[in-house]
Amino acid sequence: MIGNLDFPYTVPYRAIYAVADGGVGSVESTNGTEGIDDPRRVEIIEFSRCYGGSAWARYHYAKSPLVLATKTIGDTVRYLCRVGEHDLALEASHAAAGIRRVAVDGKEIAITYVGLGGGGVGATTCRAGAGGVIRSEVSESGGGKVGSGTIVVPRRSRLIVGIDDTDSKEVGATWCLAHNIAEAVDCDYARYLSHSIVQLYPVPEKTQNCVSTALEFACLNGGAERVLAQIRDLLIEYSVSGETGMVALTGFDGSVLADYGRACKSGVLTREYALECAGDAGVNVWLDGNGVIGALGAIPYVAMPDESVVL
């Protein structure tokens, strides 16, 4: 016997999170100077239940003036947006939905979506029912209506963790352990977003394939330190190597280490050089074995799993 469909015209997103540049409560501006907390960019990360619907949204939302870039990683679709508001000239089939407003207010981020017909349903009830949403305001939607909805989510900062050298020639794979640890520590104050395997230059000390791992979390204020201590403790417990490296950076992206990352893919580097570069980039070293070289090299490839595997 087939059960009843309680909400036949709603497919809630599993979760929606948003990361603002500058961090939570930070005074860092986008040009690196200190001053008033004034974020200019927000990345919206939507966990989909129906990839077809998310792919349709990505195609149309990419045309919104506030949207700078879009990207799909696994079951997530991401929208890199500038903060602001811009009216949309909706047109059925061609530009049927979009993001009209992105606002950052203290510890909250408000996002307003609009859409025609089914796009309006996605803009309203589908997103309002997502995990991670604090509150929402939605209009009627569906049929021939123009639907609009605003969701409010906590403002989060991005935490990037680099890990390398947890295995041996007899047992283990660093990327597996890193992922399992990330899933184990995932919680509301530190949401696990992505995992990237980073191909490094095949140095003589490698176990086999010479890769490190970048983990990405979206953290509430104070969450990063808590989850980092948990990750460190689990690495110490489960690593079978005496040279494990773990580093962490709280930042909107890992581009501060772009040059180091390229160098790590193209030649042999020393532990001393890695520690020097970590200090210069403001990266915290949690485990300083020889694996710190590759762990640091993973940072600039966060949320780039298709690019990071290329040597």
pLDDT in tens, 49-72: 999 999 999 999 999 999 999 999
Same domain, 35 and 53: yes
Return the CATH number at 221: 3.30.70.2200
Query: End of a domain among 155, 188, 216?
Result: 155
Residue 33 inside a domain? The answer is yes
Strands 15-20 and 146-164: parallel
Query: End of a domain among 155, 183, 210?
Result: 155
Same domain, 222 and 99: no
Same domain, 57 and 148: yes
Q: Out of 28-37, 58-67, 204-213, 264-273, which region has the weakest mean confidence (pLDDT)?
A: 28-37
Same domain, 151 and 257: no
φ/ψ (deg, to 5) at 73: -130, 110
Query: What is the overall mean pLDDT for the chain?
Result: 90
Residue 3 inside a domain? The answer is no
Q: How far is CA 152 from CA 105, 125, 132, 284, in A?
A: 10, 13, 9, 31
Answer whether 0.85 is exceeded by the pTM: yes
Total number of domains constituting the chain:
2
Per-residue model confidence as pLDDT tens digits over 113-161: 999 887 888 888 899 999 999 999 988 777 777 888 999 999 999 999 9
Residue 206, pLDDT above cutoff 60: no
Q: List 43's β-bridge partners, or say none.
A: 19, 80
Same domain, 108 and 216: no
Query: End of a domain among 155, 182, 198?
Result: 155
Same domain, 58 and 24: yes
Residue 169 inside a domain? The answer is yes
pLDDT at 31: 38
Domain extent at residue 105: 15-155
φ/ψ (deg, to 5) at 239: -65, 140
DSSP code of 256?
G
φ/ψ (deg, to 5) at 221: -60, 125
Same domain, 134 and 21: yes
Residue 1 inside a domain? The answer is no
Q: List 246's β-bridge partners, or say none.
A: 163, 287
Same domain, 57 and 138: yes
Separation CA 174–CA 98 (nearest Å): 40
Same domain, 170 and 100: no
Same domain, 242 and 205: yes
Same domain, 255 and 123: no
Same domain, 72 and 182: no
Residue 2 inside a domain? The answer is no
